[in-house]
Structure 1
Amino acid sequence: MAQIFLVEDEERVAALVKKALEESNHSVEIIPDGAEAIRKFALKPYDLAILDIMLPYVSGIEVCRHIRQKNKTIPVLMLTALDSVDDKVAGLNTGADDYLVKPFHLKELQARVDALLRRNAADAEPIITVGNITLNTSNNTVEREGKKITLTTKECALLELLMHNSDKILSRQTIAEKVWGISFDTGTNVVDVYVNYLRNKIDKGFAEKYIHTVVGKGYIFKTEV
């Protein structure tokens, strides 16, 4: 049973989400505003956070930023009535792993929650090694030449995809579908943003670079150029 942190000020939406997720055997705690969310998050551990963007007192974006300062790996799903590309990217850049635009189907919400939680499933193969990089998906960490690097859940998912497909070119569309579960929108640069996050964490400062851009095609994870 996952402990889910739901920050939503619309009582009807919160009640529906809570009911749907509890039917999937999760435990859901509802917090009605951003200020209370920041206070509550410090009191006990959670397995996943669901945040509305438009909240009283403190926005969901600020709550997400606070969560990421305290916990780099907890999956964060944003709920938003704002459907612009800039708003979606702002949420993802703050540290959210996924988003849903209101109104949404509860089955889709359940599927996205389950997909985020599966990252920490006990039966998942936790260790992947390519070249001198070792990825541990059980705690979202990378070790390279004795240096341990912590990733967010979405960064871990992206690196896992790239490493499982080493020496293969992956298009932005494929990455968006596999990592975010969404159709690729050419108006968003979220894939490029997260690839840059990864490069700064696992390639910067090392002589050998692993993540390469293939102009007009996408990205490839290679141990040799």
Structure 2
Amino acid sequence: MRILLIEDDENLQLQIKNQLTDAKYSVDVASDGESGLFQGQECPYDAAIIDLGLPKLDGVSIIKALREQDFDFPILILTARGSWQDKVSGLDAGADDYLTKPFHFEELLARLNALIRRSAGQASPLIENGPFAINTSSMQVSVNQQVVSLSSYEYKLFEYLMHHLGEVKSKAVLTEHIYDQDFDLDSNVIEVFIRRLRKKLDPENQFKFIETLRGQGYLLKKFE
């Protein structure tokens, strides 16, 4: 999952980015409102974390602009302001949730996970699809209730596909959602990870759970 983080406090920005990276997220950062809005308009994100008090362009203005342009990814706002009016302004602009600084990272992660689940129509952190299951809180993947160990990027790819069951996703889209802004989008590494997922999760080729559609991309089959 790819996250946009707009935060002008460099120390906090680095701390949040590192912790989200440890939690298997890909994170793009911006330190001011103008560059943050540009990134939000140009790149595909699964969610955004936006500070309200930003230089050049405030967080509420960013959220209003994104929503007016029909960007519908979940937005979690951060604010050091104690006033309830600031929180209301952010939510009224189109944000989905908020946290007041200082906060515990575990709460930020829990709220972010919940927003992403809801946007994908998942109420629970446990996503089940036939013999396959993934717990987005513990980051545990299992097949027929047997836990399978995946690398960080294998997990990111499988989680994204599980959030989009039955949908065809191109290599470019998959790359954009599991890597940050510095990655070479022309890489064929997605093919490698697809092969690894097939080998680890379906070694006997029993379920044929990932379909390859030539010239279109990949589809994770939805089991009844």
Query: Aligned in 2, Cα 1:39/1:121: closer, same or farther, shift over 3 Å?
Result: closer
For 2:98, the aligned partner's letter is Y
CA distance in structure 2 between the partners assigned to 1:21 and 1:57 by the alignment: 26
Query: Aligned in 2, Cα 1:121/1:94: closer, same or farther, shift over 3 Å?
Result: closer
With a CA cutoff of 8 Å and minimum separation of 6, indicate the structure with the bigger relative contact order: 2
- Give the CA deviation at 1:70: 2.0
The answer on 1:19 being equivalent to 2:18 is yes
CA distance in structure 1 between the partners assigned to 2:30 and 2:81 by the alignment: 21
What SS class does the counterpart of residue 92 from structure 2 fall into? helix
CA-to-aligned-CA distance 1:141-179 (integer Å, 9 cap, x gap): xxxxxxxxxxxxxxxxxxxxxxxxxxxxxxxxxxxxxxx
Which position in structure 2 is the counterpart of 1:194?
none
Task: State the aligned residue count.
Answer: 126
Which position in structure 2 is the counterpart of 1:44?
43
Which position in structure 2 is the counterpart of 1:203?
none
CA-to-aligned-CA distance 1:16-68 (integer Å, 9 cap, x gap): 11111111111010101001112222221111011000101000010111111
Residue ranges of structure 1 left out of the alignment (5+ in a row):
126-137, 140-225
TM-score relative to the length of structure 1: 0.53
For 2:116, the aligned partner's letter is L
Query: Aligned in 2, Cα 1:122/1:92: closer, same or farther, shift over 3 Å?
Result: closer
Which position in structure 1 is the counterpart of 2:81?
82
- Give the CA deviation at 1:72: 4.7
Identical positions, percent: 41
CA distance in structure 2 between the partners assigned to 1:47 and 1:62 by the alignment: 20
Which position in structure 2 is the counterpart of 1:118?
117
The 8 Å contact of residues 99 and 108 in structure 2, kept in 1 or not, is answered as: yes
1:122-201 equivalences under 5 Å are: none
Query: Aligned in 2, Cα 1:123/1:108: closer, same or farther, shift over 3 Å?
Result: closer
Cα RMSD for the two superposed structures: 2.1
CA distance in structure 1 between the partners assigned to 2:113 and 2:14 by the alignment: 19
The 8 Å contact of residues 3 and 26 in structure 2, kept in 1 or not, is answered as: yes
For 1:57, the aligned partner's letter is K
For 1:91, the aligned partner's letter is G
Which position in structure 2 is the counterpart of 1:53?
52
For 2:85, the aligned partner's letter is D
- Give the CA deviation at 1:73: 2.3
What SS class does the counterpart of residue 42 from structure 2 fall into? coil
CA distance in structure 2 between the partners assigned to 1:33 and 1:124 by the alignment: 33
- Give the CA deviation at 1:77: 0.3
CA distance in structure 1 between the partners assigned to 2:86 and 2:34 by the alignment: 21
- Give the CA deviation at 1:84: 1.3
What SS class does the counterpart of residue 45 from structure 2 fall into? coil
Which position in structure 1 is the counterpart of 2:67?
68
What SS class does the counterpart of residue 87 from structure 1 fall into? helix
TM-score relative to the length of structure 2: 0.53
CA distance in structure 1 between the partners assigned to 2:119 and 2:25 by the alignment: 15
